[in-house]
Amino acid sequence: MHSGLGLKRKEYFIRLRGDQLLTYLPQTGSCLSNLNTPTRLSTTTMVTFDNTSLNHSAFYCKFNEEFKYILLPVSYSLVFIVGLVLNTTALYVIMCRRKRWTPSTIYMFNLTMCDTLYILTLPFLVYYYADENDWPFTEPLCKIIRFLFYANLYGSILFLCCISLHRFVGICYPVHSLHWVSGRRARLVSGGVWAIVLLCQAPLLYFSRTSNKYGRNICYDTTSPELFDDFLVYSSVVSVLMFALPFMVVMVCYGLMMRKLLEPTWEAEGREGERGCLAGRRSKQKSVKMIIIVLATFMLCFLPFHLTRSLYYSFRYLRQVDPAQISCSLLEGSSIAYKVTRPFASANSCLDPILYFLSGQETRNEIKKTITKSTKTVNVDSRSTTEF
């Protein structure tokens, strides 16, 4: 694909496949074809105009985004299938099999609800990316899907932070936790988390929008180009408040927890006899498992996604301000890295149920009972069918 730039009459020419030629008019922000029939941009190339001014219009970038039309639909489909099975199982165990709801159960229920709502948005995005960025639905649905996608993503982060704080208090301040931790307070904290998430993500309902470009109806993952500067400020604030700060809290809590767990006297602290020491060892094993899973979720799912997204947004803004600072290859590389890490962020909804399943012996017993009951039901039905 060859691109040419003509300064006469302030028109810029973009050569497409074959002999097709588009004339880009910076005054109107539109493209005119030299043919009488409408021209549609090649699906293998995305052309980004950084600015419509004469000084910047020469520095647009061409991105090859063919890979995302395979990567995102396939990865989102896998996350949808696996995550839906795991989270519905977790919800069933919590709501139907648990007799007593502890503060941990309340936090895990809200975390599972976040993941389930998040997963339910994925089929729309699978269809959108499989159809190569052509949104077949309405703009209000585009806003709702983008809102739910990010609201439940950050809801998961905050509830993981709540679970970590709860466990931290129980291990490092076991006596005080008897007064600080209760089911009522856990419900109040959970309600506060939902309020914060909905409040912080509400601007997405304004920024998210659709636009018809070259025969395709685009549902923007960020926002329309003219609002990108405002969106960058909003996105940066949200990333700090809803990812960076919770991540720091989790790291500090787990550092202090590990130091406490490594103390030789911790297992027997407040416990008497062999049975008390055994309970201490089980509690220690459960805490270590939780630390490993939550840290893995942050390190593998959330951290790469936020780093690459921040990098891409920053490069995009810097190139818009001064195209000489950021080359097209660097901008494209950051864009590819950001899109590659999106499936990692989605995979968090598959890891969270594992945290619940490994959180305690009682949970595992309930799952075993559920599986055994289902197996017996299947066997009874099969015998009845055979006898008939």
What residues contact residue 318 under an 8 Å CB cut-off, 6+ apart? 325, 326
Exposed e or buried b per residue across 348-362, where buried means at least 16 C-beta atoms within 10 angstroms of its C-beta: bbbbbbebbbebbee
pLDDT at 310: 95
| Interval 71-97: pLDDT, tens | 999 999 999 999 999 999 999 988 887
- R_g (Cα) of the chain, nearest Å: 26
The C-alpha atoms of residue 159 and residue 114 are separated, in whole angstroms, by 9
Question: Is 376 exposed, middle or buried (CB count within 10 Å of its CB: 0-12, 13-18, 19+)?
Answer: exposed
At 33 the pLDDT is 42
pLDDT, mean over the chain: 78
Residues 173-196, mean pLDDT to the nearest whole number: 88
Integer Cα distance of 222 and 59 in angstroms: 21
- In this prediction, residue 5 carries a pLDDT of 41
Q: What is the 3-state secondary structure (H, E, C) of 34-80?
A: CCCCCCCCCCCCEEECCCCCCCCHHHCEEECCCCHHHHHHHHHHHHH
Q: Concatenated DSSP letters for 343-382? A: HHHHHHHHHHHHHHHTS-HHHHHHHHHHHHHHHHHHHHHH
Q: Would you say residue 189 has pLDDT above 80?
A: yes
Write the pLDDT tens digit of every residue in 277-312. 555 566 667 777 778 888 888 999 999 999 999 999
List pLDDT tens digits, range 24-77: 444 444 444 444 444 444 444 444 443 333 333 445 687 888 899 999 999 999
* In the predicted structure, residue 269 carries a pLDDT above the cut 70: no
pLDDT, tens digit (0-9, with 9 covering 90-100), for 138-172: 999 999 999 999 998 999 999 999 999 988 888 88
Contacts of 349 (CB under 8 A, 6+ apart): 79, 83, 87, 115, 116, 118, 119, 156
Indicate whether 13 pLDDT > 70. no
To which residue do tokens 């520095």 refer?
59
Report yes or no: 145 and 124 within 8 Å, Cβ to Cβ. Answer: yes
Confidence of residue 360 (pLDDT cuts 50, 70, 90): low
pLDDT band at 213 (very low <50, low <70, confident <90, very high): confident
Q: What is the pLDDT of residue 42?
A: 40
Portions of the chain given CATH number 1.20.1070.10: 68-372
Cα–Cα distances (Å) from 9 to 31, 200, 351, in that order, read 14, 45, 57
Mean pLDDT of 237-248: 95
**In the CATH hierarchy, which fold is given to the domain comprising 68-372?**
Rhopdopsin 7-helix transmembrane proteins (1.20.1070)
Tell whether the model's pLDDT for residue 376 goes beyond 70: no
Give the range among 9-18, 317-326, 334-343 with minimum mean pLDDT: 9-18
